[in-house]
Structure 1
Amino acid sequence: MFDILVILITLGLLIYLAYRGISLLILAPALATFAVVATLDGPVLASYSQVFMGSAAGFIALYFPVFLLGAIFGKLMEDSGSAKVMANAIIGLLGSQRAILAVVLSCAVMTYGGVSLFVVAFAVYPIAAALFRQANIPKRLMPATIALGAFTFTMTALPGTPAIQNAIPMPFFGTTPFAAPGLGLITALVMFVLGMLWLEYRARQLAAEGYGVHSDDPATPDKAMRERAAGEGFDVMELTPERPSVGLPPAWVAVLPLVLVIAINLLFTFVLIPRMDTGFLALPLYGETDIDQVRGIWSIIAALTLSIIVLIAINWRRLPKLTLSMDCGANAALLPIFNTASLVGFGAVIASLAAFVLIRDSVVMLGGDNPLISLAIAVNILAGMTGSASGGMSIALSTLGDTYLAMAQAHGISPELLHRVTAVATGGLDSLPHNGAVITLLAICGLTHRQAYPDLAMTAMAVPLVALVVLITLGTVFGSF
């Protein structure tokens, strides 16, 4: 019982101290060491060098290209003006009479195309502010609107999304970015419809309030904002508030890279890679693996790489500081992946303690005979505790992934369904008030938790949780499709 208490205290300290702004690069190894020392369960130095660093290094080796290419792609979309053009085009097409829908769709299109949610938030905010003011919609609904488009269905549910939340489950379950596409589309639709219903209802309910008296100057990224955002896939200090005045690209130029990310991802996943001779992967030199373990990662790497090349080629004159843009994007990938890898190392050390077996068995039993329920609960709780969707998912899969895969096989549940449930489950409790993306979005909009968080919690937490229930129910009844 004492050892279990130590684990719970360690997790509590991780939540509290991370919220207070202490770097996860320091917190994760320090608290993992504390857990080993307090429980007297294993050699301290070996737990750090072999367990913590081994797991963290494995995560970096596997996912660094996705973080790196995603950050560079987002940076180039922002610096070329493509992100701004996309937002302007969609919002201009729908007009102020459909302001909420316009903002949601503009965020959704860009994030589904691979643009970082922070680039999207900074690009969309000034336009959304003008649109909300023109339509006299309360500004307090703006963070919830942006969150619905950027933080929910495009991040976890839509098949093929290059988001890291959709990439992490692939090596664990041998799946692709397009796992359970039918269920993913239905789940995404549930999130979109319920979120829109809530926002439109609130807009009518608060109609008398109007936009309110607010300054619409976008927030300037500072050190605190960077630290809050780093765990969610982008370093906002790398965002440049002003672009060189070279001219914005036409709409087709702005859209083409986004379309290519999805199209190339699909092409490599189902056409090119399956036709390759990959028997060499069984050799020790290549990790003694098979194509199912790497196909999804290879597809995303190929999609982002080729899309970046095209993006640069068609925006060459709009990127006068190309080297700087790429350097900033590359630098922006480092802190997020090391933060997440530190959480993975922390989880591995906790999982190595004898007391964790009792916690694991208790968590696994939560769903009764349905491992999907237990998996969803475990991922949600860890995402909420760490304040990070990718971090919580990584801990859950690194400690319990094999267990859930074995349980699923015993119950005839496909790995594709496990993948989709895992990804969608990250998008629930991760949006608690201490989440870095939540704090950063509120700062961008110039609003407080008290003003805007209740509605943001509905669209980014409550609605995804309802959609998760729908997903599990459909998956249990009909299987994966």
Structure 2
Amino acid sequence: MGIFCLILGLIILMVMCIKGIHIFISVFTASLFLAVTAWLTSPDGLNPLDAILKIYTTGLGSYFGAFFFIFVLGAIFGKLTAISGAADSVASFIIGKFGERAVIPSLVAACAILAYGGVSVFVALFTVYSMMVSMFKKANLPRRLIPAVYFAGAGTFVMIMPGSPQIQNLIPMKFLGTSATAGLVPGLLTAAFQATLVIFYLSWLFRKVKASGEGWVDGDAAAGKSNATQSAAKDKPQPHVIIALLPMLLLLSVLNILKWDPAIVLFCAIVSALIIYARYLNWKEIIGNLAAGTMEGVISLFNTAVIVGFGALVMKLPAFQESFQAIAHSGLNPLMVTAIAVGALVFISGSGSGALSIAIPLIASMFPAAVVDQGALHRVVTMACMSTTPPFNGLIITVLSVCGVRHKQAYGPVGMLTLAIPLVAMDFMLLLYAVLPASITILGG
């Protein structure tokens, strides 16, 4: 009965999110449903008031406090790359080099480089969206595939690469005491494997679309707003691509070579961006822009934290604990147990970063350094948190909304790129750890 109620709670959350209901209302409703049904099925167990007022809010608050500076400083850095024109400069350079004859590779590359350079995936979306609209129109490609191209670049192989400054690669460092390049060789090989699958899938998808005769259709306000923003951006001087890349390269270098705390690295990146982009910034508006970046980070953090609260509540449910213990004591390889546990929690909570903050402490206590290489755990949990992204994930909902399409139109390809292909890549990584010698897999930790 407990498992049935848990599944029903997930369905409620999924349906509400897909319907466009605000994430907090959706999560709170699903949390309340799970708390009440858990109490009804086991009156001596979880008290609904304690579940909401203590467990849920503690989970939300703990995550908010632990990752406040990473989210806020990351958002401010992304804001500076946007308002200075640096992100546009990098994206335009890449697209210009590839040319309109290679629309899809150029857009995928632009998204990937921005994401690996430390630009928030939300900022990267707004940076490349206007160019995507323009190039999709010229190539007569359907709008519904814009989200797929975006996720192919910013939400697949680049997110699992060792050295990435994205939150999925930073959270394990905090709990496991590892570096951003942990699991270097398996991570790079898996990223290359996943990138290959992504390229083959997109090639097949767009050949199929071209053959069907499906093309661009005008008709949403977002496109008009985007084109207006693009025209305004063209009138503003932008830094040369080399100058634009300098703060991003500094961020990657300090994070991966000096191995400083991610929050300190992001602060240094902000200072360098203020100096290097100085002539391209409107200093009269800089305080307002920094405040806007701060609020964007806080909103993104809050939207993730409310999911973490849901995950914290789920963890206290007898049905979840029984299932988790069954997985943990299944006798499977520790890395396989880790992948299954994290993947399940990601799908349940709808947030990769949120699931990591909940799952890693449990996994680290079960598999200490004496049992499993912590660098291997780091790379596996990073891959696992990107391998079971559900349709009610906050970023997916945001991307579809910005692109002016619905789940029914666009989720098929997006699901292939954020769920099906990553699951295959997860299996590939586990295979690598099974066959490669330890002297290779421990590199980069």
- TM-score of the two chains, using structure 1 as the length reference: 0.80
Give the match's secondary structure for 1:207.
helix
Alignment length, in residue pairs? 430
TM alignment of 1:18-417, pairs within 5 A: 18-20=17-19, 21-24=21-24, 26-27=28-29, 30-31=32-33, 33-34=35-36, 37-38=39-40, 39-40=42-43, 41-42=45-46, 51-155=55-159, 157-209=160-212, 212-215=215-218, 219=222, 246-269=236-259, 298=261, 300-320=262-282, 321-365=285-329, 368-397=331-360, 400-406=362-368, 409-410=370-371, 413-417=372-376
Identity of matched residues, %: 33
Query: 1: distance between equivalents of 2:143 and 2:320?
Result: 45
Find 2:383's aligned residue among 415, 424, 428: 424
Give the match's secondary structure for 2:194.
helix
Aligned AA (1:60): F
Give the match's secondary structure for 2:399.
helix
Instruction: Work out whether residues 218 and 444 of structure 1, in 8 Å CA contact, stay in contact via their aligned partners in 2.
Output: no
Give the match's secondary structure for 1:179.
coil
Query: 2: distance between equivalents of 1:9 and 1:403?
Result: 30
Kindly state the Cα deviation for residue 450 of structure 1 after the two structures are TM-superposed.
3.7
Partner of 2:431: 473
Kindly state the Cα deviation for residue 362 of structure 1 after the two structures are TM-superposed.
2.1
Give the match's secondary structure for 2:301.
helix
Partner of 1:277: none
Aligned AA (1:469): D
Q: Deviations over 1:35-64 (max 9, x none)?
A: 664333255655555544444333223211
Cα 1:12/1:364, change in 2 over 3 Å = farther
Instruction: Work out whether residues 388 and 422 of structure 2, in 8 Å CA contact, stay in contact via their aligned partners in 1.
Output: no
Instruction: Work out whether residues 222 and 403 of structure 2, in 8 Å CA contact, stay in contact via their aligned partners in 1.
Output: yes
Deviates more, 1:344-353 or 1:90-99: 344-353
Deviates more, 1:255-264 or 1:372-381: 372-381
Q: Deviations over 1:275-295 (max 9, x none)?
A: xxxxxxxxxxxxxxxxxxxxx
Correspondence 1:433 to 2:391: yes
Aligned AA (2:328): V
Kindly state the Cα deviation for residue 459 of structure 1 after the two structures are TM-superposed.
2.4
Instruction: Work out whether residues 311 and 349 of structure 2, in 8 Å CA contact, stay in contact via their aligned partners in 1.
Output: no
Query: 1: distance between equivalents of 2:247 and 2:314?
Result: 41
Find 2:416's aligned residue among 436, 439, 458: 458
Kindly state the Cα deviation for residue 308 of structure 1 after the two structures are TM-superposed.
1.0
Cα 1:217/1:45, change in 2 over 3 Å = closer
Give the match's secondary structure for 1:331.
helix
Partner of 1:287: none
Instruction: Work out whether residues 344 and 395 of structure 1, in 8 Å CA contact, stay in contact via their aligned partners in 2.
Output: yes
Query: 1: distance between equivalents of 2:94 and 2:376?
Result: 33
Kindly state the Cα deviation for residue 403 of structure 1 after the two structures are TM-superposed.
4.9
Instruction: Work out whether residues 350 and 356 of structure 1, in 8 Å CA contact, stay in contact via their aligned partners in 2.
Output: yes
Query: 2: distance between equivalents of 1:201 and 1:11?
Result: 33
Cα 1:97/1:244, change in 2 over 3 Å = closer
Give the match's secondary structure for 1:429.
coil
Q: Deviations over 1:216-250 (max 9, x none)?
A: 8772799xxxxxxxxxxxxxxxx999669542222
Instruction: Work out whether residues 220 and 241 of structure 1, in 8 Å CA contact, stay in contact via their aligned partners in 2.
Output: no
Unaligned runs of 5+ in 1: 223-238, 274-297
Query: 1: distance between equivalents of 2:168 and 2:39?
Result: 33
Aligned AA (2:245): V
Unaligned runs of 5+ in 2: none
Kindly state the Cα deviation for residue 170 of structure 1 after the two structures are TM-superposed.
2.3
Aligned AA (1:456): V
- TM-score of the two chains, using structure 2 as the length reference: 0.86
Q: Deviations over 1:349-374 (max 9, x none)?
A: 443455543122223256x4212222
